[in-house]
Chain A
Amino acid sequence: MAGTKEIRTKIKSVQNTRKITKAMEMVAASKMRKAQERMRAARPYAEKMRTLAAHISHANPEYRHPFLVERDTVKRAGMIIVTTDKGLCGAMNSNLLRAALAHFKKLKDDGEEVDVCCIGGKGLAAMQRLGANVVSHVTPLGDSPKLDDLIGAVKIMLDGYNEDKFDRVDLFYTRFLNTMKQEPLQEQLLPLSGDHLGAPEGSWDYIYEPDAEAILNMALKRYIETLIFQSVAENMASEQSARMVAMKSASDNAASLIDELTLVYNKSRQAAITQELSEIVGGAAAV
């Protein structure tokens, strides 16, 4: 009977799809473990660095580093967008890009120029489609990105800030909460304000050795580098987790589709047998 053969081919193709999604799920699971370890290992350093930056921003040194000075007018803004290189990882990239786009539109509506630095292929493609001015990008990231690879692209943004080309730089990345949950996050990279870093009340006064300028230059540069590196590590861990979850649900969907199709197939097979039987019986009765 027609139909059974088609259903059989359909089942086969869904089974093949399931094999692929299952394999991708397992690859993502093993990569996820490594990415999470890397991210966890880097967290204490990043957190200490953040506290240090918060303290510095509240201190009153004789030297004010340009990164610490709030500017009155914002004419040109920079955005650093961290996304994944590859797709098939659920809504993670689209959630992040939605947040980034909202910020982008808001800046444009306020009549500001926006320059974008993209880390990761998905963000780059989206921003280029949008016609944004992409000044630098890092792609592909690979599985374990090194700081050296990222610094070049980010340095363009920092130099732009130092040369007064930008008055503000924001960082967008996906923060890893747990395997099931990741959230898009916007963080103001420059100027560095102590308020959103959660600096303690009161003013701080440090002894700077050898002098405030050298130390602040070094510390703040390192702070930015650490923040970028950490955001990429979080993005990686989020990517692999999101992909694993997405592939798991795809495999589960495929499995239930196969069950349904098998049911339909068996029904139609039995219908065919019943029909054949009744035809034979009917034919015998007629004789």
Chain B
Amino acid sequence: MNDTIQIDVVSAEEEIFSGKAEFVVLPGESGDLGIYPKHAPLITSIKAGPVRIKVPDVEKEDHIFVAGGILEVQPSIVTVLADTAIRAEDLDEERAVEARKKAEEALEKAASKQEIASVEAELAMLKAQLAMIRREGK
């Protein structure tokens, strides 16, 4: 079986990943999604978390962090339109911890509902980032 599927991960800033893969796992809005070639067409939103891509002939999976976005699946193509995407090796634990501290402080100070919502969204994203870094570290 050497069935593969074309995966494109793009963020507003750059193209993160483009290539063939055996399967891919994504953080869907209502739970993780594992996608193999010839999947039924699907459009869904994804939340903050890691995207794991299994590239053929490579033992280790590629890990990409996304902060949410849109996922489009067609039988032969998977497109991830990420709000922010970072390759796992570019993630920095110290920076993430510091950013989380700042966000938590901001949450205490935040006055309006809108501010609270935006800070909470950022916090959720940073937590997911941290979780991924720690898993990588093991």
Contacts and interface: CB of A to CB of B under 8 A. Distances in A.
A29 interface: no
B58 interface: no
A242 to B, nearest CB: 25
A207 B41 contact: yes
A218 B45 contact: yes
B14 interface: yes
Contacts of B41: 204-207
B13 A52 contact: no
A129 B25 CA distance: 55
Nearest to A212: B43
B98 interface: no
A222 interface: yes
Contacts of B79: 48, 51-52
Q: How large is the interface on A (under 10, 10 to 19, 20 to 34, 35 or more residues)?
A: 20 to 34
B81 A42 contact: no
Interface in B57-108: 70, 72, 74, 79, 81
Nearest to A204: B41
A44 B10 contact: yes
Contacts of A210: 29-30, 44
Interface string A202-217: 0011111110001100
Given A49-B81, A209-B29, A41 B14 contact: yes
Contact of B12 (A42, A204, A219): A42
B43 A48 contact: no
B12 A206 contact: no
Contact of A56 (B11, B28, B42, B43): B43
A55 to B, nearest CB: 7
B8 interface: yes
Interface of B: 8, 10-15, 28-30, 40-45, 70, 72, 74, 79, 81
12 contacts: A45-B15, A48-B8, A48-B79, A52-B72, A56-B43, A205-B41, A206-B41, A207-B41, A209-B30, A209-B44, A214-B45, A222-B70
